[in-house]
Structure 1
Amino acid sequence: MNKNDLIEKLSLVEHIEGGYFSETYRSDLKIATDREGTERSLLTSIYYMLTDNRPIGYFHKNKSNIIHYFHAGSPLTYLILHPNGELNKLKLGFDVTKGHLFQLKVPGGCWKATVLEEGEFGLLGEAVAPGFDYRDMELAKADYFQSNFPDLWDELAPYIKK
């Protein structure tokens, strides 16, 4: 299968943070997530794919923890920036002899970017609990990163959506 076959078969559409996605599950079970009683689905899941023509999932952060599961294609590099400025680089993929991970938890409140560095595509799944809601996601802004992480700016700048 190639990227176009997967985009069609999995009904993927362009995602605002980069790449393509399709929501595959949204729990009917709801939970309150704040003092005001705002409800969210207990769990959501998506397919997410980066391709050679859309190779970057730009820096963003979510309130919820997200588990990423590698499914197919070339490995994907994750840049995870913790609130204290610690930067981790990890790879999701199938070659554990090269340090690849099959799954990865990104804690809520951390900035993350994902990059396809080689190959035609990298396909993964994500599970979010409590369930994903766009109100809980923030895309990175260059001025925030420049002022809060000046020592990392040159390294992080290519992964901030303009």
Structure 2
Amino acid sequence: MNKQDIIEQLSLVKHIEGGYFKETYRSDLTINTDREGGERKLLTSIYYMLTDDCPINYFNKNKSDIIHYFHAGSPITYLTVDPEGKLSKFKLGFDVTQGHTPQLLVQGGCWKTAILEEGEFSLLGEAVAPGFEYIDMEMAKPDSFKASFPNLWDELSPYIKQ
């Protein structure tokens, strides 16, 4: 299969963060939170795909924890920045002998970007708890990101949606 076959077979659509996605699960169970709107679904899940012509998931953060699962294709590089400004790098993939991890937790409140550095595509799954709502997600804005993390700006600016 190639990227176009997967996009069509899984009915993926463009995502505002970059890449393609499709929500596959939204729990009927809910949980009360201290967030705007209060109540959230207990869990949501999506397919997420980066491709060679759409290789960046631009820096964003979510209030919920997100677990990323590698499914197929080439490995993806994740960069995360915690609230204190600590930069971490992970490779999501199957080759554990090369330091890959098949799943990755990004805690709520941390900035993250994902980059497909080689290959035609990478297909992932994501589980979000409490469930994903756009109101809980923030895309990085160049000026505020640079002001918050001036020492990381030169390295990370290519992964901030302009």
TM-score (norm 1): 0.98
Shift of 1:102: 0.4
Equivalent residue number for residue 2 of structure 1? 2
Tell me the matched-pair count: 162
1:45 deviates by 0.2
> CA, structure 1 residues 150+26, in 2 after alignment: closer, same or farther (shift >3 Å)?
same
| 2:100 pairs with 1:100 | yes
Residue aligning to 2:150: 150
Deviations 1:25-62 (A, max 9, x none): 00011111127771111000000000000000000000
Kindly report the root-mean-square deviation, in angstroms, between the aligned alpha carbons of the 2 structures.
1.1
Equivalent position amino acid for 2:27 in 1: S
SS in 1 for 2:152: helix
Task: Give unpaired runs (5+ residues) of structure 1.
Answer: none
Q: 5 Å matches for 1:1-150?
A: 1-34=1-34, 38-150=38-150
Q: Which residue identity does 1:135 align to in structure 2?
A: I
Identity %: 74
Distance change in 2, residues 1:111/1:36 (3 Å): closer
Structure 2's unaligned 5+ residue stretches are: none
Which runs of 4 or more aligned residues in structure 1 lie more than 3 Å from their structure 2 counterparts after TM superposition?
Answer: none
